Structure 1
Amino acid sequence: MNLLLTGHHVDISPSLREYVENKLDRVIRHFDQIIDIAVVLGIEKPSEKDKRQRAEVNLRLKGNIIHLDHYAENLYAAIDGLIDKLDRQVVRHKDKLQDHKRAALKHVSGEMSAGEDRSEGF
């Protein structure tokens, strides 16, 4: 798994990099088939009300890409909210992959139970 951490109008300090890596361990623990992760941390243009901190992620899986972003007053709070959203999405994706309730149509229509008689109606 490759991790790309970039900052938009923010310098990425070693402590911030370590914080993001520790938080991403939770996601990796739930689903280990991740190809690469690109995280962008930034500060939006200041408005009259407040400054908004932004955390954004592109997570590439086999056959799927998950893109999420989260805004907060604090950069660490934005990372926490982003990781919560990402964890839910990854668990949902994993459940879809492991869902065996849906059978293929060719198996459903072709199967007959043991007690059925094929010669009915003749």
Structure 2
Amino acid sequence: MKVFIQSVNFKADASLVEFVEKKLNSIEKYYDKIVDAEVYLKVQQTSEKENKLVDVKLNVPGNDFVVKKQCKTFEEGVMLAADTLKRQLTKKKEKVKAK
């Protein structure tokens, strides 16, 4: 699966990019029709500690899955987003099988 990563207001280092790709590629085993994933990593200019925003959009034929998470670290946000996407994809797969 192709993973497009855009970092807003900062430069993502190689280890973060590798981590995001690895996490999102593990989602493929839950649903085999995923075209690609778009990941937006943003740093909000606030005084809060949870100022890291992670937006993940999975492009699947028929519909797209979008998950937004706000956390202290990008790694935590990506892990939470991946877990949410796994649940959504599992639900979608069960609906398709039920028909």
TM-score for the superposition, normalised by structure 1? 0.74
Tell me, in whole angstroms, the C-alpha distance in 1 between the residues paired with 2:82 and 2:44.
19
Q: Paired residue for 1:95?
A: 94
Gaps of 5+ in 1: 101-122
1:50-89 alignment, distance < 5 Å:
50-89=49-88
Gaps of 5+ in 2: none
Residue 86 of structure 1 and its aligned partner are, at CA, apart by: 1.1
Q: Paired residue for 1:29?
A: 29
One-letter code aligned to 2:22: N
Aligned to 2:35, the other structure's residue is in SS state strand
Please tell me whether Structure 1 or Structure 2 has the larger radius of gyration of its CA atoms: 1
Q: CA RMSD in A?
A: 1.4
TM-score for the superposition, normalised by structure 2? 0.90
Q: Paired residue for 1:41?
A: 41
Q: Aligned pair count? A: 99
Query: Do 1:5 and 1:39's aligned partners in 2 also have CA atoms closer than 8 Å?
Result: yes
Tell me, in whole angstroms, the C-alpha distance in 2 between the residues paired with 1:24 and 1:87.
10
Structure 1's consecutive aligned runs of 4 or more residues displaced over 3 angstroms after TM superposition are none
Tell me, in whole angstroms, the C-alpha distance in 2 between the residues paired with 1:50 and 1:13.
20
Aligned to 1:68, the other structure's residue is in SS state strand
Tell me, in whole angstroms, the C-alpha distance in 1 between the residues paired with 2:7 and 2:41.
5
Q: Paired residue for 2:17?
A: 17
Residue 41 of structure 1 and its aligned partner are, at CA, apart by: 0.8
Residue 51 of structure 1 and its aligned partner are, at CA, apart by: 4.6
One-letter code aligned to 2:44: E
